[in-house]
Amino acid sequence: IANITTIPLLNIPNLIQIGYQLMDHIASDLTRNVNNVSNYVIITDTQLAPLYLSTLYKLIQSHLKLNQRLLTRILPCGEQSKSRNTKAQIEDFLLNQKCTRDTCLIALGGGVIGDLVGFVASTFMRGVPFVQIPTTLLAMVDSSIGGKTAIDTAHGKNLIGTFWQPKRIYMNLSFLETLPKREIANGMAEVIKTFAISNEPEFIKLENGKNQIESAILGFSDQSDATKLDADRSMLMSVVSACAAYKAYIVTEDEKEDGLRGLLNFGHSIGHAYEAHLSPEWLHGECVSLGLIHEAELSYYLGHCSSNVISRLKKCLQLYDLPIKFDEKSKHRLGLAQVMDTMKVDKKNKGDQKRIVLLKKVGSALDNKPTDVSDVAIEHVLSK
Ligand code: NAD
Ligand code: ZN
């Protein structure tokens, strides 16, 4: 297929497909590859529906066979939709519509829609096929890949869920044109994280390619110069593809997170603790930005990397509009004792032992799994 990058996942070729202006392609590939179903159900949110739903609807509709139906469901946007309530509402809708096991759910949205629809798909009629059409940068490079599905409860985020793999993941980079700037930065935190543990050349591309990435996302670039726009777009496409390919590789090696997949938590052991105290004012990626810096500082403190790693990481995060320090008000909400206490409930801990991904240098983690780190060392770095 011209101008589409494909990436295998869990040994299935072409499972991930990346490109620009992919709507036509998505509709035809989807109806061709997930074809033994009677119902397709697009689930999206109130933010995305006016932007993209009718186009996708018409295109898919045009490929349907006589006995196939296309339904849609629009949910409120925001994390609150990742709830037991919303899951039940979708299920009741599907049951009212007489959907049975031959139903394919289509998640059109960011990580919220993807996680929720994946979870519904995994339990509806004991499991129906679903596809991911991620619309945020974060969902493209991170949440749509790997089969983790979940909802939140009052006790915390993502505490109830399943592993359930999508049949296809379509990354239409043109969707990023309408994504708010702060959400782009939110996704860039995961991109920077990924290359920091896995790929120095790609990290260097980020260090040098801010303008190209930005103009490719915005789409207008210097319109008089079509060659430049093409170059900028291939640059963004190569970055998203490299990031997605690394996650796909990790998930293929360690689907259920017994070791290697834990590497993707770089920046998240500390970052999640910040998020627990600063959300919703601070976005996930903004907390991870500080988490990345502090976990790199921990790596330096423990003697595993040079201080240059910390400064390059900081510079790169700042370049992509991510915070590199806390404002006074936020600092106030983050007492050392509370942060340490919150870190105790990390799903990744083994008993009391905290496990954190450490860096050896830019582009390489210390080990192929998180490392046991003492509370004393963490406290030292966090109290600086
Ligand atoms: P999100 O899904 O809430 O999307 C952010 C906002 O942007 C929403 O208001 C949405 O309506 C809007 N939006 C999305 N795409 C748009 C577009 N193209 N144009 C304009 N507006 C658009 O946020 P997110 O950051 O994509 O996802 C966060 C969720 O992902 C969290 O619930 C998190 O737990 C989950 N997550 C899951 C995994 C996983 O492995 N399953 C990994 C990381 C994060
Ligand atoms: Zn993350």
Task: Assess whether the C-beta atom of 80 lies below 6 angstroms from ligand 1.
Answer: no
Strands 156-163 and 148-153: antiparallel
pLDDT (tens digit, 9 = 90+) per residue, 317-362? Answer: 999 999 999 999 999 999 999 999 999 887 777 788 999 999 999 9
Burial 29-59 (b: 16+ CB within 10 A, else e): bbbeebeebebbbbbbbebbbeebbeebbeb
Per-residue confidence band for 63, with pLDDT thresholds at 50, 70 and 90: very high
Res. 364: pLDDT tops 80: yes
Is the Cβ atom of 286 under 6 angstroms away from ligand 1?
A: no
How far is Cα 39 from Cα 353, in angstroms, rounded to an integer?
48
Which three-class secondary structure state does DSSP give residue 76?
A: coil
> What would the pLDDT profile of 106-129 be if each residue is shown by its tens digit?
999 999 999 999 999 999 999 999
Ligand 1 atom having least distance to the Cα of 78: 3
Cβ of 111 less than 6 Å from ligand 1: yes
Q: What is the pLDDT of residues 271-305, one digit of tens each?
A: 999 999 999 999 999 999 999 999 999 999 999 99
268 annotated active-site: yes
> What pLDDT is attached to residue 277?
95
Annotation says 190 is catalytic: yes
220, pLDDT greater than 70:
no
Ligand 1, residues 9, 22, 44, 47: which to mutate, most atoms within 8 A of Cβ? 47
Residue 351: predicted pLDDT: 82
265 catalytically annotated: yes
| Contact in structure between 219 and 174 (CB atoms under 8 Å) | yes
At 265 the pLDDT is 97
Average pLDDT over residues 35-55: 97
45 Cβ closer than 6 Å to some ligand 1 atom: yes
* Helices (H) then strands (E): counts for the chain: 15, 13
Query: Is residue 195 over pLDDT 70?
Result: yes
Active site residue 261: yes
> Of the residues 233, 268, 304, 354, which is catalytic?
268
Tell me the C-alpha distance between 32 and 30, whole Å. Answer: 5
Among candidate residues 153, 142, 146, 81, the one with its CA nearest the CA of residue 117? 81
| pLDDT (mean) for 27-31 | 98
Does 193 contact ligand 1 (Cβ within 6 A)?
Answer: no
- The b/e string for 357-377 (b: 16+ C-beta within 10 A; e otherwise) is bbbebbbebbeebbbebeeee
- The pLDDT > 70 percentage for the chain reads 98
* Res 222: pLDDT: 59
257 lines ligand 1 (CB under 6 A): no
User: Is 267:342 a contact under the CB 8 Å cutoff?
Assistant: no
Residue 341: the pLDDT is 92
Q: What is the mean pLDDT of residues 202-219?
A: 95
Please name the residues in contact with 130: beta carbons below 8 A apart, sequence gap of 6 or more: 104, 105, 106, 107, 117, 118, 121, 164, 166, 167
Q: Where are the alpha helices (DSSP H) in the chain?
A: 23-33, 54-61, 84-96, 111-123, 137-138, 181-198, 200-208, 210-218, 226-253, 268-278, 284-301, 307-319, 328-332, 336-343, 375-382
What are 365-374's pLDDT values in tens digits?
Answer: 999 999 999 9
CA of residue 300 to ligand 1 center, whole Å: 32
Q: What is the CA radius of gyration of the chain?
A: 21
Q: What is the mean pLDDT of the chain?
A: 96
| pLDDT reported for residue 2 | 59
**Longest CA pairwise span in the chain (Å):** 66
| Residue 142 Cβ < 6 Å to ligand 1 | yes
Determine the atom of ligand 1 nearest the C-alpha atom of 112: 2
Q: Is the pLDDT of residue 221 over 70?
A: no
Residue 251 has pLDDT above 80, yes or no: yes
pTM above 0.95, yes or no: yes
Q: Among 138, 141, 190, 257, name the best residue to mutate to test ligand 1's pocket (greatest count of ligand atoms within 8 A of Cβ).
A: 138
% of the chain with per-residue pLDDT over 90: 93
Query: Ligand 1 centre and the CA of 199: distance in Å?
Result: 25
ipTM greater than 0.85: yes
pLDDT digit string, tens, across residues 128-154: 999 999 999 999 999 999 999 999 999
Look at 75-89, 243-257, 304-318, 347-361 and tell me which has the smallest mean pLDDT.
347-361
pLDDT for 163-193, tens place per residue? 999 999 999 999 999 999 999 999 999 999 9
Mean pLDDT to the nearest integer, 238-266: 97
Residue 35 predicted with pLDDT over 80? yes
